[in-house]
Every structure is written in C-alpha cells, then in structure tokens.
Structure 1
C-alpha cells in the first residue's frame, strides 16, 4: 500500500466515514450520518486506502473564527482525523498534516488552522498551540442561592419552553441570539450552514439516562435575548428526596438580565439539586452571582482548542491588540518553514500590520507558542516563564508590552466542536 493521501470521492464517503467511526470505537445513527454527510466538504477530505479499504481519514471545514477585536477570520478547521490501529506508525498522520497545511497555504485564504484533539500530545509537533481552555461545573443548587443585583432582577424577561416539534422556530430564535454574541469572545465559531442542526442532535446513547434535549428562550418585547439548551436526569436519595441533575449543554445571552433570568430558571427546576456543565467559559459571570462558591466546584478542562498560524503575517494582522504594540518577533516554524524569520508587528485596538523584517528580534518563540497566545487566553509572559518565549534584550520591556497587547478582555471560548 502507499501512504500518500488522496482526495475523497463522493461515492467513497460511506466507507470513509465508517472507517472514521470505527477508529473512535463509536457508532452513528442514520440521522447523524445524513447530517455529517451534508456537512462534509468532500473536496477538502483526504484518505489513505489499503487496496479498496479506507484505513485513515482527515478533513477540513471552512470555518470563520472570532479573534480579539471581533473580526471573523477564515480558519481551516482540522477534523475527522483517524488512523486504523493496524496502520499506525507509518507516517500517515504526518502526511495528512503536511498535505493539509500545504493546501491551505496554496489557497491563500485562511491564515489560521485550528483543531480539537482526542489526545493532547499529538499536534504540538505540527505547530498547533493550546489556545482555549474551559470550565467543567457542578453547582449544588440545593444549597447555593443566586444573588442578583436589584436592577438585573427587576428587568423583565419572558421565558418560554420550546419543544422538539418546534424545531424550526427554536433554531431561528437561538441562532439569532448566537449570531449577535459571536463577536464578543475570541474562539467563537460562525455557524456554517447545517451546523445549527448539529446542536440539536440528541441520540439516546449520549443521554446517559437523562431526558431528551430541552430548550428555554428568554424574550423581551417578543424578541429572543437569551437561550439555554439542557436535559434533566432524575435521581433520588435513599430517603426518597429529589437529587436530579440539570445538564446544561449551551447558554448564550445578549445582556445581563437575560443571562441571569436563564440561570435563575435552571436553579429553580423542580426535583433537581445540581447543575452540571462540561463546557463553560473560564470567566463565566455566574461565578459572581452565587452565595457560596465552595459548593460550586469547577474543574479546568486542560485543552479545548488548538490554533496554528499558517500565514504568520496574515494571522497577526487579522486581529487587534489591547494596547499599542510595535515588536519584532523571531518565529521558528520547522513544519512550515515559510513562517520562519523575523516579523515586525505594529498595531493597536484599531488594527495591525505584520510584515517580514531584517530588524533584530525583540522576542523569540516558536509558531506553537504564537498559536497559544493568539486568541489572548495564554499570556506571552506565562510562556516566557516556562522558557518558551525569550526576551532578547530583557531591559527593553518588549515582553511586558507584547504580553499586555496580546491579551483579550474576555476569555476565549470554543462553544462547540467541529
């Protein structure tokens, strides 16, 4: 067999997707397969075949991701990567990464690539840096109370439960809110056509005994301002006291009052004593509204989104900066050598330019660390503390200035995978 990847043909999708599902020891319903087939950009998918059998898969989604400053930047979303256990350690993954990044560079429209990783150690060697983390939350609503500011509590928001048979109107309401919060956090992804339906997938195997997916929408003057998607898992103590869980899948809000109204609703659901969420922003405001934070244990999800500049100049010029910055970065990129060299970045909150230069470097770092810092959630100062960023002239103050400029006022957040 040859390990040279080739582009997937539409007629090969079923076998290709089955190989992907098998590699992850999973299963898929007919509804999932139909949706994923419609979402797949076949012309951006690769496979390796052993005779007539697919043994490795990889794909790209044409995404747009929010970056600091609120711009939506075209991003190659690496997805559906698998190698059959019988064909490991033959260089297949490396060949996929090589082909994808070369293709993205040739197309010239996406300065960034991003992915979520099933195993954390894999993608750093290809220049992907950890850029987004999130919180897993477990709130004891049997003992914890919300403390809402009077002005927030007094602002009216009408709540409406939506059922699965209202899917069309439910999607329209929720997606209108999502589209308007999209520019508020780096890492947020524009919903590609069809991805809004992926948010409603609710196969029974994923429920783990919980109810079907539910949705509540907050309205003001008849217009949606917030929504939450959740499920409820009933449970009881030995003395028959209710101990159910509210499993929060997604919550987005345009304003503080709508946000608070939804959290108050979730706290008050009958027969439950817990709210559980696996993916919330690091700076989620509910943490300042509870009266006993000790009964709201959180766990840091160590990795959520990995980011890689494919075009260093284009990527750094696509975002804005919290404070004025004028710095020369020495970037090392072994896997994509076209990025290696000195780059002068000049920018502020209004925009930036980044071009090759022969001027001496202020800071030296690899493209992996640049990816980690890109969305503003990982500081260059922290990376320097680990020895991964070098300030070439420590008295210059370049590290402090650049670290401050790269920061984001809101924690980056990946609301859903891809």
Structure 2
C-alpha cells in the first residue's frame, strides 16, 4: 500500500472528523462538531491518504507547555486516528514521522498527547509525565474541613466576563507547575468555557465562580457543571492558597439540590486531600497517568528547563525513532543552567527516551524506574543525584483534556 502523507485542507476537515468518530465509536451533536471544526481550523492537520480517501489523521496544536523554570514550544497532538481497515500498516508511524520533521524545522523540542491506549505510544518515545487523581465528595452533608476557608465573597461570572478575571490565576499555576498548556482568549472561550447545547450533553452549561472582592485580584475560581442527577462535575479549580481552595470546595459541596461533587482530575499533591477532615467523605476514586510527553529534541529540552541541584552524569539514551537523540551524553547542570554534550566516558545511567520523558517535568522519580528494571543504574547513587536535580516544588499536572 502506498500512503501519501500530506496536509489536510480545510475542505476535508469534516471528512477527517468523520474518520475520528468512526475510530473512537463516537458521535457528536451539532454544537460539539462545530466547536471541533473550529478547533481544527486553527491547528496543523496531517493526513494519510490512500488515493483520495483519508485513512489516517492527526492534529497538532501549537501551544506552549510549562516546564520547570519556564515554557517551551510543543506540538500538542489531538484527534489521532487510523482507519480500522488500515491498521498495522505503518500509517501512524508515517504521520508521526512527518510531525517530528515539522517539530525539528520549527524548533519545538516537545510533543505531548492524551493516550487513548497506553500500549501504543510508549513505542514512539512517549512517557507518562504527569499524574492525576479523580476525586468524589459526598455532599449530602456539610464538607468537613481541618482548616478555615477564606471568608472573602464568592460571585458568579458569565463566560463573556470571566477570562480577564481568572486567566491570571491559571498563569500563576503554570509558573508553579510543569505540564500546563498556554491559553489565549480564543482557547479559553472555545475549549474551557464552551457552552454546549447538544442533546447528548446532560451536564448543563459551564458555571464560573470566583473568590474575592469585586475589583480586586481573584483568590481562586472554579469552572463546573451540574447534571440532572444532582452531580456537580468540576472541570477546573485554581486557588492562590489552601484557604482559598477550601472556600471553593466548600461552595461546591453546598450547592442546593445536589448530592455529589466529582472532579475528574486534580493534582496528586492537591491540598484538598490533606485538609479534608473525613477521607470517607472525600475519596480518591482513580489514579492515572495524564499527559504523555515526548522529548523530540532531548538536548534542547534538558538545557531549557531549570535545575534544583548540581548534577554531572553521563547518560546513555536509547531512541529508536529519532536517532539524533541516541548515544552517550554528559549532562552538567545546576541552578544557573545546564549543558548536554556527546561523551565518550562510561555511562552512569542507561535509559530509553520514554523514561527520560516521564522524569522530565519532575513528576516521576528516576529511582522508581530503576527499581522497576526500566532504567539501568551503572554508577551507584546516580539515580538519586539526577532525582535531586530534577525535583520541583509542585508536582506537574495537566487537568485539561484538550
């Protein structure tokens, strides 16, 4: 089979969406499809064609991704689909190869995605770089807290007024945590605060509640929806500190005519899990890898992030997909910066690029991967040294299923 890899023109976007719905056994109402069509108009679209039939499709958003100490350009992969009639024929490999070429040309050292099947993306060099918890609160009784919630007033905002008020809090979170996507106003309105009216959407419209005095910087916000069964679904909650977070969680648990609060994704170090007085009332219902990361250019990625402690080690990196990343390299880093150069010296650590991606944002201790047999520690103590250098004050977190 001859596969032609080329851009998907705007005239073929609806055909690409049809393929995506077929592959994921999904359908979309008019509002959702319209929003996804608009989303695809504003990103890269790579297609695999068999003649004039689209048999593969992937999109890549051009957004910055927060990393320790700053932000890097990234390709955020989305809508990755291969027709069921053309599986196991190298279609996905060919599309990703085209994306790697584009990343190199545009100096985007990172790529990321939400993995529909974990087993697929590891072989392409992706590793799970952020972790999330799903949380459920029994709100049939008042929320029992160990700290006093912030007493400042709460107010409801409409989507048209919300972005200037809540965006600074999100940006502050991006400065603290790796793994968070950059947002412009269009992304906020289209992907975060969208007011779907599809018949298959039973969670109601997005509601935005802000903590803080009118005219003053907000101390926190929450975006949530309330379904017909009395379940409050939390889409996103950001707070300047623990008392502000407590005020927002307390509000969510006290909404009339509701019985449960569900947050599909909170950070593994979210303070709610500590200041909740009754862990039978606030339960972790799931723990799962969230954003998968690919270091497309290992040298650029490592030298661009910040480092918590000095380290001087030789890494032997395997990368079957992008050979330029493979080999032995000396990583020398400290809080002032880093270098990463080819080396002839024996390796202190040997690892695949997917394991390096898993550790890159500071969320996965390398020592855990050594114990799992996925990283070879050739110099005793080398993994602990690299862990100390990679450490971050806050765990990385991605709560946005783009």
TM-score (norm 2): 0.92
What's 1:159 paired with? Answer: 154
Q: For the residues of structure 2 that align with 1:346 and 1:123, how far apart are their CA atoms?
A: 29
Q: For the residues of structure 1 that align with 2:112 and 2:384, how far apart are their CA atoms?
A: 27
What's 2:17 paired with? Answer: 17
What is the CA-CA distance between 1:289 and the residue it aligns to? 1.6
- State yes or no: 1:54 paired with 2:38: no
Query: Does the Cα contact within 8 Å between 1:4 and 1:95 map onto a contact in 2?
Result: no
Q: Root-mean-square deviation (CA), in Å?
A: 2.2
Q: Which moved more, 1:260-269 or 1:199-208?
A: 199-208
Q: For the residues of structure 2 that align with 1:315 and 1:363, how far apart are their CA atoms?
A: 18
Question: Which 5+ residue runs of structure 2 have no aligned equivalent?
Answer: none
- State yes or no: 1:298 paired with 2:284: yes
What is the CA-CA distance between 1:245 and the residue it aligns to? 2.3
TM-score (norm 1): 0.89
Q: Which moved more, 1:23-32 or 1:380-389?
A: 23-32
Q: For the residues of structure 2 that align with 1:417 and 1:234, how far apart are their CA atoms?
A: 23
What is the CA-CA distance between 1:9 and the residue it aligns to? 1.9
What's 2:179 paired with? Answer: 187
- State yes or no: 1:93 paired with 2:86: no
Query: Does the Cα contact within 8 Å between 1:144 and 1:290 map onto a contact in 2?
Result: no
What is the CA-CA distance between 1:230 and the residue it aligns to? 1.2
Structure 1 residues 34, 273: CA separation in 2 closer, same or farther (over 3 Å shift)? closer
Kindly provide the CA deviation profile for residues 133-165 of structure 1, in whole angstroms up to 9, marking residues without a partner as x.
200111123356333535xx4x54221012xxx
Question: SS of the residue aligned with 1:347?
Answer: strand
Structure 1 residues 333, 227: CA separation in 2 closer, same or farther (over 3 Å shift)? same
Question: SS of the residue aligned with 1:45?
Answer: strand
What's 1:212 paired with? Answer: 205
Q: For the residues of structure 1 that align with 2:281 and 2:154, how far apart are their CA atoms?
A: 27
Q: For the residues of structure 2 that align with 1:303 and 1:392, how far apart are their CA atoms?
A: 28
2:225 to 222, 231, 236: 231
Q: For the residues of structure 2 that align with 1:191 and 1:324, how far apart are their CA atoms?
A: 33
Query: Does the Cα contact within 8 Å between 2:29 and 2:200 map onto a contact in 1?
Result: no
Question: Which 5+ residue runs of structure 1 have no aligned equivalent?
Answer: 236-243
Q: Which moved more, 1:173-182 or 1:305-314?
A: 173-182
What is the CA-CA distance between 1:413 and the residue it aligns to? 0.7
Aligned length: 400
What is the CA-CA distance between 1:344 and the residue it aligns to? 1.6
What's 2:45 paired with? Answer: 45
Question: SS of the residue aligned with 2:212?
Answer: strand
2:351 to 365, 376, 389: 365
- State yes or no: 1:275 paired with 2:275: no
Kindly provide the CA deviation profile for residues 236-277 of structure 1, in whole angstroms up to 9, marking residues without a partner as x.
xxxxxxxx3221111112233322221121122123332111
Question: SS of the residue aligned with 1:5?
Answer: strand
What's 1:120 paired with? Answer: 118
Structure 1 residues 134, 324: CA separation in 2 closer, same or farther (over 3 Å shift)? same
Query: Does the Cα contact within 8 Å between 1:9 and 1:42 map onto a contact in 2?
Result: no
Query: Does the Cα contact within 8 Å between 2:147 and 2:243 map onto a contact in 1?
Result: no
Query: Does the Cα contact within 8 Å between 2:10 and 2:41 map onto a contact in 1?
Result: no
Q: For the residues of structure 1 that align with 2:128 and 2:105, how far apart are their CA atoms?
A: 25
